[in-house]
Amino acid sequence: MMLTTHDSHVIELSISEWFYRNRNIAGFDNPARSLYVSIREIVENALDACESAGVLPGVRVTLSPAFRLDTEIGINTGPQVFTLTVSDNGSGIKRDHIPKLIGKMLSGTKFQNQQSRGTFGLGGSLALLYGQITTQSPIVVKTGCSGEDCYHHLSLKLDIEKNKPLILEETIHTKPIHEHGTTISFNLRGDWFRSKRRIIDYFHQTSIIVPYASIRFDTPDGESLKFPRLVEQLPPAPRATKPHPRGIDVEMLKQMINTTKRSTLLKFMTSSFQSIGVSTAKKFFEFAKIDPERAPKSLTSEELINLMAAFEIYDKFRPPSSRSLSPAGEKVLKAGLTRISPEFIVVRQRPPNVHGGHPFIIEVGVAYGGGISPGICLLRFANRIPLLYDERNDVANRVIRELNLRNYGLKQDDPLTFLVHICSTRIPYKTVGKEFIADVDVIRREIDLGFKDCLRRLGDMVRRKTRTMRVRARENRLMKYYQFIAETLGEAVSRPVSIERLFGE
């Protein structure tokens, strides 16, 4: 990144320094939201670590004041310094990987073509960067891998100018060989009073979308929120896949060609993209009017652009594979929704679909009655991340506003909770802060069809319940009438008359 000042002096910024100066684009724009985003990013990394290791997640989060407080002032007076500690039972981090994964921007494990919570390999690093620039305190990491007999304890900082970690202290401690996991602890400036409701909502909603996780959150108020595991099975893990021809751009195509070892375009095509065999590749090159036996590196810039244009308009490619996705599944969604204690739950998983060359799956659910408050509530998730801001702009909210609930025997003030989960290799977020989904036609249609399917089933259940209640109410009225007749006859004949005797039963 290059910046030119008024005196023509050229300044070069590292990646870390650029994000340091522009951290507000990722949600670190005030102490309240920064505290929420920091907790979310570190917890998501912990859940990812467990799921990628095939381990049922166990995550403990502690947020406590970093310094002794004046008891008269208390904890709810505004921004202050907190210590955030997040522990997980994942596979741990190899010693040599710790500095890069913890202390370097755009360094991570989330750059494969498969579903993951993170998109840029940036959120966790930004949270740690935010903590450092607001408190100047180091990051403390304790991690141990399964099969190893020691924990590595590292204290480090981020060198913002050079985008590299600085290890301040390192020690090694013994551990049982079967134990594994990572604990990250750092100080940061935050506003608990203003962000409390949002953070607690985040943990509640996370427990809904990952009911197979055991989560505990110890708050600065001395409370301990516990969300026990409800499901003893992880959803199927996503598998990394090759890119789809419609999911790339010219620059990516150029990079793929520069790194390929294939001698012909035909071999390059069949080995570099998913679901493309020799026959499909030959038909495509015939359509694009390109010799399939040419060497990939012989293509000029203009030919690369023409090849990319052919990718976009050729309609004989198979849709992208959904093997790279890991939907929650109807069983998991239903278990998660039991946390809000509804009377009825209906969930549906839509068939895989495609947007912009990337596969996606929409999962929806509607819960009714029970412990749900009157009115409509919407729970939004993307790749198992709760979305808590900007609900009004989200495509799911727009779909709900256009639903005619009367068609299903329901009303706007009925106790209804809608849930929508989109999983994809590329979520169409509208902001870097990952808070709401763009109004894309194909996604809107899938959400709409899913909700309507749930509402038809739910409407039938509610109507049956209403009919049953009417029958019972009618029976109760009749019983009261019969009891009145029996008592009246009893008084007339000066002896008790039972309802059974009155009707000869």
pLDDT in tens, 420-465: 999 998 888 877 667 889 999 999 999 999 999 999 999 999 888 7
Percent of the chain's residues with pLDDT above 70 = 85
Q: Is the dihedral of CA 264, 268, 270, 275 positive or negative?
A: negative
Residue with tokens 């009618």: 474
Residues composing the chain = 505
Residue 149 has pLDDT above 90, yes or no: no
Q: Which two tokens stand for residue 30?
A: 């005030």
For residue 305, give the H/E element and its range: helix 301-313
Q: How confident is the model at residue 112 (pLDDT cuts 50, 70, 90)?
A: low
Q: What is the pLDDT of residue 373?
A: 93
10: helix, strand or coil: strand
Whole-angstrom CA distances from 305 to 22, 254, 453 are 33, 10, 43
Residue 103 has pLDDT above 50, yes or no: yes
pLDDT in tens, 194-224: 999 999 999 999 999 999 999 999 999 999 9
Residue 11 has pLDDT above 90, yes or no: no
DSSP for 87-131 reads EE-S----GGGHHHHHHSTT-SS--SSS--S-SSS-HHHHHHHHH
Rounded-to-integer distance, Cα 279 and Cα 312, Å = 19
Q: What is the pLDDT of residue 10?
A: 62
For residue 152, give the H/E element and its range: strand 150-159
Q: What is the pLDDT of residue 368?
A: 96
Q: Which two tokens stand for residue 174?
A: 């013994």
Mean pLDDT within 139-164: 86
Q: Is the dihedral of CA 24, 30, 33, 39 positive or negative?
A: positive
Closest CA to 228 of 240, 212, 242: 212
Q: Which two tokens stand for residue 234?
A: 């992880």
Tell me the domains of the chain and their CATH numbers.
20-227 (3.30.565.10), 245-313 (1.10.8.50), 322-460 (3.30.230.10)
Q: What is the pLDDT of residue 12?
A: 59
Residue 71 has pLDDT above 50, yes or no: no
Residue 70 has pLDDT above 80, yes or no: no
Mean pLDDT within 297-309: 91
17 against 149, higher pLDDT: 149
Q: Which two tokens stand for residue 80?
A: 């202050």
Q: How confident is the model at residue 475 (pLDDT cuts 50, 70, 90)?
A: low
Q: What is the pLDDT of residue 20?
A: 59
Q: How confident is the model at residue 413 (pLDDT cuts 50, 70, 90)?
A: very high
pLDDT in tens, 235-285: 988 888 888 888 788 888 888 999 999 999 999 999 999 889 999 999 999
Q: What is the pLDDT of residue 13?
A: 58
Q: What is the pLDDT of residue 359?
A: 87
Q: What is the pLDDT of residue 24?
A: 62
Percent of the chain's residues with pLDDT above 90 = 51
Q: How confident is the model at residue 17 (pLDDT cuts 50, 70, 90)?
A: low
Q: What is the pLDDT of residue 251?
A: 86
270 against 127, higher pLDDT: 270
Alpha helices in 328-425 (DSSP H): 330-337, 395-402
6 against 325, higher pLDDT: 325
> What is the overall mean pLDDT for the chain?
85
23 against 347, higher pLDDT: 347
pLDDT in tens, 55-67: 999 999 999 998 7
333 against 489, higher pLDDT: 333
